[in-house]
Structure 1
Amino acid sequence: MVENICSYFLKKQNLPGFAVKFKVNGEWKTLTWQEYIQKVEFVAGGLKKKGVNHGTHVAIMSGTRVEWSIADLAILGLGGVSIPIYPSNTTEEMTYILNNSETQFLFLEDGSQLDKWNKISSQCPNIKEVFIFTPHKEKNAATLSDLEKLGKQVVKDSPGLYAKSVSQIKLSDLASIHYTSGTTGVPKGVSLTHTQVTSEVVDVFSELGMISGDLTLTFLPFSHILGHVEYWGSIYLGYSIAFAESIDKIRDNLKEVSPTVLVAVPRIFEKIYNGVVSQAEINPTKKKIFNWACSVGAQVSKYKRSNKTIPLTLFLQYGIAQKLVFSKLHQGLGGKLKFCISGSAPLSQQIAEFFHAAGILILEGYGLTETTAAITLNRPHDYEFGTVGRALPNVQLKIASDGEVLVKSDKVMTEYYKNVEATKEVMQDGWFATGDIGELTDRGFLRLTDRKKDLIKTAGGKYIAPQKLENLLKLNKYISNVLIHGDQKKYVIALLTLNPDEVKRYAQNNNIAYENFAELTKKPEVQSLVRDAVANVNSGLASYETIKTFEILPNDFTVESGELTPSMKVKRKFCDKKYKEIIDSLYA
């Protein structure tokens, strides 16, 4: 029998081990499943007392932390609707989402989010009360602890309140409205019922073969559908989650936690890859050993992918390669990884193959917010690099005449909230138009080209996939982010940002003097370094795809400065507008 996510949660009452792990004042703390469930029940009791009922809309604006999951489960268990909001959203975006979603109660992370709220509170008349995770000097926001205390008495007076409420939830009930982070335009509210949530977590985690004894280190925003599904998966399956302190502390936390599964976006794997390559190139001897190990690992990878026995000599060489080179990578990732999962943006095939050569399998999947995350997935024993895997159960795929991927599934949203026209645009006779261009291989694996709206059509009528060029350039350790431009133009240009650590190291090794990083990016030696990287990429491209000229920007793209979405994808329209003068000058 298919159940709602909170029903699966309540069944974990007697599961051994810890449910969640998180740091408090520098020390790791845990909650058992029993303690976790009790906290959720108490918070739900507090919310019930405040007026949260079946169908009440409650927003959460916070980074990824254990309190986020507790609030979310309390909301869902009462039959409420959870509205995730990125903490990086501007006050304008926050106002739009709160009003469009008809939110009545709001959870905030800390004082900085409370400051945002205080600026717009008069513009959001539907909000009845605000709660805060981290205690703040202001008294106009109750804390999660306050709710827990209030709910403890409610639960005492009404035992079984949470379980009773959970039992009344229908799969057709609205569970969450996820607002697209939006690389273009105003965010749209993706309506997901308990049917979509359950269909996704049951199929994804069954296909992955994960077990209750697994442990993930979570750091993706729960406001992003991939992060939300990672945590919902733990609720369904019973595996444990450790909460990273921050993106900056991931490296330390990986070693402390030793996860068995890592869920991440390609940017994380790109940074790890570039870091490994950089260390290998410190001196000629290390580089030679590294290249030999990669060659041996690549051969082993081919045998593994074809399910053939590895020859004894190669097997022994691989053991040496592991000891000399790859073991450091494994240790850096905690030493216990079974596999990694990559989603949200395309993963470079070269990076996937490198990690596999090192003995670490990255399984790439594909989906959108509108499909409750994954609709295709590479499996641990059924994968093909350069693709996003086969369709999940209860997923039908077909390719439209223009190459667009269409999908029909219980995982597809019911609608864009209060946006009939936008819903009609993407739903075609029961099929959801993903907006992605792709093809199915002979073995049924989906291979993607790019977003349909992002494809560049040059003045000569040739189509170019910008993500392909961007990902190739980002394989270079000196390059951080890239924006390819060329629509309706005679040639392709690139805006690039650099990796400060690597470029500064290069400057130090080559005695290049500079006062600040912006000045360093203009140095002839650095310009030459990037020119060589562009030429290297161009050498493998068709003539119409080649990058004719480029500009190095003084500062990297960030979420805070607006160029990136919270899932680290480039906001093309925003960048085109922000850097219009530079782009125009490259075509002058």
Structure 2
Amino acid sequence: MAEGAKLHSASETIGALLARNASSHGSSIAVREKERGIWKETTWADYAEEILACAAGLEKLGVKPGKAVLILGDNRARLYGGMLAISLLGAYAMPAYPGATLDELQHFLGEVEIVAAIAEDQEQVDKILELRDAGASGIAHIIYDETRGLGFYEDEGLMSWDHLVEVGTHHLNEDPKRREELSKRATPDDPAIFLHSSGTTGAPKGIVLSQKNVLAAAKNGHDAGAYGEGEEILAYLPMAWVGDYAITVAAALLYRFTVNVPERQETVVRDMREIAPTFYLAAPRSWDQMLTTIQVGMEDSTRLKKWLYHFFMDRATAAETRKLNGQTGGVLEPLGRMLGELLVFGPVKDQFGMSRLKNAFTGGEAIGEDTFVFYRALGIKLRQFYGQTEISAISAMQAPDEVRLHTVGKPAPGVDVKIDDSGEILLRSDSVFEGYFNKPEATAEALEGGWLRTGDAGYLEDNGQLVVLGRVSEVMYTAGGERYVPNYIENRLKFSPYIKDAAVLGAGLDELTAMVCVDFEAVGHWAEVNGVPYVSYADLSQRDEVSKLLHQAFERVNKAVTEPLQLKRFVSLPKEFDPDDGEITRTRKLRRKVVQERYADVIAALYDGSKEVHVSAQVTYETGEVGKVEKSLPIREV
């Protein structure tokens, strides 16, 4: 393969791009943020000036290379601006998930000196103050965006964003050359963002991505056709996830996107309809939830609308399925497609803010065939992509018309791929990180001769398409020597809209079994429509009527795997896997060892012939208090 492509200029940095956008496209909209129902717009010229002022203010507070600033909260324009400002100073911008616990935040403190924090609101300020009380006295300054509820706080070092910018503006105006110097100070090798691995097998590892890394990844994505210049995007993904930074910050800066920040997470669907983005990235679960909402809405519609919907969608779905299977001939082409667009497809897309969507992606895990085919049939060219934090998120993706369910597409331009003798996927690109922060042994395991060892098993097809099978470390064997990847089977169980999480068991045993967590929203709605009473998640998850839904998912998976790998029994757990309980990561990846230890009695019952098992499951409430769910669970045969 060709060597990784270089950036347009070796000197490109975040500061240089900000200056370029402010100078050449100063009147264009950089950020649009919804506040109290009104979209407020900020041009590139004003955005760059605010970021420079923030950087100057942070510098006055002691932020400098080698120091870190914690970013805590949901998506806010000022939090994104703060991350860019920290990059101008050559310091570490360290975003954390808004739901991060005190223990998780304390882990960050042990990595690098955190001298300040930028918080969204009172809730996050309280969390940082609690962190201070627990010994993090080094966080001398806390800057907050939302002032509500903080007027009477007298804690030392508290400062509003507006006051920080005022301090920084005064500092900039003292010397006319200071703006230009600040824009040019950082180099391509200086940090852009300090992220963390998901931590499925232990404590998360620090991952510093340089400005060269993130801008190379943004260019690779553009050259692969993921997005063009001037895209409209919605900033709703967790700010601590590399996928959000890659699109909302790096690509937005390099290709001058307009970033739209929703008012709250609860208003994302409504805000998306108002914005109608041209680019949209979501996890398979989000696409599943939107599909469920569409289907529920149609079932509540009039008889005529339901007939029209099924008439056109059934034919479009059949046509798209044939395309995916390499066959030709679409029933709806071309006249039927036009009518369907007018009567069904267009109105559905408009209702959910997808009327202008040109580039739609799913990633993080496999997506169900029904969900994937539905959106393709609707006229949305949904594609899969593959990447990880260590390569700045972007490494391979499907082209719009080269889509197969089992592949993640071809490597992006600028990314080299090879498969080693053990079947592990190796990647090489300018977007690959330099190593785990202060962890030389882990770095040596991950990087070898310029290649990143992804930890994923896979292979390249003859046509260049990459197939990802699952984690190399999770390749397991039954007692009979059958090789399997639990995550592969778990993802296929989660293709069912009624299953939110799953844990497949059977390493070293004769048969495979599973523990599943139902999707409370989807199953709850199904129960209401079908007159199935319930009083709680624990109650609903054990209903015989619900078990029939789960049986259908298991039977479907069993048809797709060989006989020795078919699932024989399962248990529906009385609570969801929860990151606060340590069972999954913040990106919803299973912490397999924790789950197996916590549910050891359930696992034993799945194999010893028991008909039911009593479980006492840990639950962490929003207040931080820990409780228990006590329930007897039936062992169900597939």
Q: TM-score, normalised by structure 1?
A: 0.92
Of 88-97 and 312-321, deviating more is 312-321
Q: Is the 8 A contact 1:180 1:189 kept in 2?
A: yes
Q: Any unmatched runs of 5+ in structure 2?
A: 1-8, 609-638
2: CA distance, partners of 1:477 / 1:282: 19
After TM superposition, list the pairs within 5 Å mapping 1:247-326 onto structure 2. 247-279=265-297, 292-298=311-317, 300-301=319-320, 314-326=333-345
Q: Is the 8 A contact 1:57 1:82 kept in 2?
A: yes
- How far does residue 169 in structure 1 lie from its aligned partner after superposition? 2.0
Of 286-295 and 455-464, deviating more is 286-295
Provide closer, same or farther for how the CA distance between residues 138 and 486 of structure 1 changes in structure 2, counting only shifts above 3 A: farther
- How far does residue 452 in structure 1 lie from its aligned partner after superposition? 1.5
Partner of 2:16: 7
2: CA distance, partners of 1:556 / 1:455: 25
Q: Is the 8 A contact 1:44 1:162 kept in 2?
A: no
2: CA distance, partners of 1:324 / 1:557: 41
Q: Secondary structure of 1:373's partner?
A: coil
- How far does residue 554 in structure 1 lie from its aligned partner after superposition? 2.5
2:142 is aligned, of 109, 130, 146, to: 130
Q: Deviations over 1:73-126 (max 9, x none)?
A: 111112222222222222122112122123222222222223332333253354
Provide closer, same or farther for how the CA distance between residues 209 and 117 of structure 1 changes in structure 2, counting only shifts above 3 A: closer
Q: Is the 8 A contact 2:101 2:580 kept in 1?
A: no
Q: Secondary structure of 1:138's partner?
A: coil
2: CA distance, partners of 1:375 / 1:10: 28
After TM superposition, list the pairs within 5 Å mapping 1:352-371 onto structure 2. 352-371=372-391
- How far does residue 157 in structure 1 lie from its aligned partner after superposition? 0.8
Partner of 2:471: 451
Q: Is the 8 A contact 2:83 2:193 kept in 1?
A: no
- How far does residue 442 in structure 1 lie from its aligned partner after superposition? 1.4
Partner of 1:194: 211
2: CA distance, partners of 1:212 / 1:430: 31
Q: Secondary structure of 1:253's partner?
A: helix
Are 2:182 and 1:165 equivalent residues in the alignment? Answer: yes
Provide closer, same or farther for how the CA distance between residues 311 and 297 of structure 1 changes in structure 2, counting only shifts above 3 A: closer
Partner of 1:574: 594
1:386 is aligned, of 392, 406, 413, to: 406
Q: Any unmatched runs of 5+ in structure 1?
A: none
2:440 is aligned, of 415, 420, 425, to: 420
Provide closer, same or farther for how the CA distance between residues 572 and 42 of structure 1 changes in structure 2, counting only shifts above 3 A: same
Partner of 1:139: 154
After TM superposition, list the pairs within 5 Å mapping 1:40-439 onto structure 2. 40-121=51-132, 122-135=134-147, 136=150, 137-140=152-155, 141-208=158-225, 210-231=227-248, 232-279=250-297, 292-298=311-317, 300-301=319-320, 314-334=333-353, 335-380=355-400, 382-439=402-459
Q: Secondary structure of 1:222's partner?
A: coil
Q: Is the 8 A contact 1:300 1:318 kept in 2?
A: no
- How far does residue 227 in structure 1 lie from its aligned partner after superposition? 0.4
- How far does residue 144 in structure 1 lie from its aligned partner after superposition? 1.4
Q: Deviations over 1:458-506 (max 9, x none)?
A: 2222122223322322232332322222222222222222233443343
Are 2:608 and 1:585 equivalent residues in the alignment? Answer: no
Provide closer, same or farther for how the CA distance between residues 427 and 312 of structure 1 changes in structure 2, counting only shifts above 3 A: closer
2: CA distance, partners of 1:492 / 1:128: 53
Sequence identity, in percent?
Answer: 27
The number of aligned residues is 588
1:487 is aligned, of 486, 490, 507, to: 507
Q: Deviations over 1:519-542 (max 9, x none)?
A: 232222222332233223323321
- How far does residue 52 in structure 1 lie from its aligned partner after superposition? 2.0
Of 479-488 and 352-361, deviating more is 479-488
2: CA distance, partners of 1:124 / 1:455: 40
2: CA distance, partners of 1:302 / 1:585: 40
- How far does residue 560 in structure 1 lie from its aligned partner after superposition? 4.1
Q: Is the 8 A contact 1:101 1:177 kept in 2?
A: no
Provide closer, same or farther for how the CA distance between residues 41 and 397 of structure 1 changes in structure 2, counting only shifts above 3 A: same
Q: Secondary structure of 1:100's partner?
A: coil
- How far does residue 390 in structure 1 lie from its aligned partner after superposition? 1.4
Q: Deviations over 1:504-525 (max 9, x none)?
A: 3433444433333422322222
Q: Deviations over 1:148-188 (max 9, x none)?
A: 11111111112342431231322222332211132220110
Q: Is the 8 A contact 1:349 1:386 kept in 2?
A: no
Q: Deviations over 1:236-286 (max 9, x none)?
A: 110101112333322211111111111222221121233334455669987
Q: Is the 8 A contact 2:319 2:330 kept in 1?
A: no
Q: Deviations over 1:314-356 (max 9, x none)?
A: 3222233334443343123311111212223233344323211
Q: Deviations over 1:263-314 (max 9, x none)?
A: 2222211212333344556699877765553443245547878999977963
Provide closer, same or farther for how the CA distance between residues 301 and 517 of structure 1 changes in structure 2, counting only shifts above 3 A: closer
- How far does residue 379 in structure 1 lie from its aligned partner after superposition? 3.3
2: CA distance, partners of 1:272 / 1:389: 24
After TM superposition, list the pairs within 5 Å mapping 1:533-548 onto structure 2. 533-548=553-568
Partner of 2:552: 532
Of 347-356 and 23-32, deviating more is 347-356
Provide closer, same or farther for how the CA distance between residues 323 and 581 of structure 1 changes in structure 2, counting only shifts above 3 A: farther
Q: Deviations over 1:202-240 (max 9, x none)?
A: 221243263443201121112111101112211111010
1: CA distance, partners of 2:524 / 2:242: 36
Q: Is the 8 A contact 1:8 1:236 kept in 2?
A: yes
2: CA distance, partners of 1:558 / 1:282: 32
1: CA distance, partners of 2:474 / 2:305: 40
Partner of 1:21: 32
Provide closer, same or farther for how the CA distance between residues 418 and 517 of structure 1 changes in structure 2, counting only shifts above 3 A: closer
2: CA distance, partners of 1:199 / 1:168: 20
Partner of 2:620: none
1: CA distance, partners of 2:579 / 2:346: 33
Partner of 2:5: none
- How far does residue 62 in structure 1 lie from its aligned partner after superposition? 2.2
2: CA distance, partners of 1:525 / 1:304: 36
2: CA distance, partners of 1:402 / 1:390: 21
Taking only aligned residues, the RMSD between alpha carbons, in angstroms, comes to 2.7
Of 174-183 and 408-417, deviating more is 174-183
- How far does residue 60 in structure 1 lie from its aligned partner after superposition? 1.4
Q: Secondary structure of 1:435's partner?
A: strand
Provide closer, same or farther for how the CA distance between residues 337 and 218 of structure 1 changes in structure 2, counting only shifts above 3 A: same
Q: Secondary structure of 2:333's partner?
A: helix
Q: TM-score, normalised by structure 2?
A: 0.85
1: CA distance, partners of 2:318 / 2:550: 31
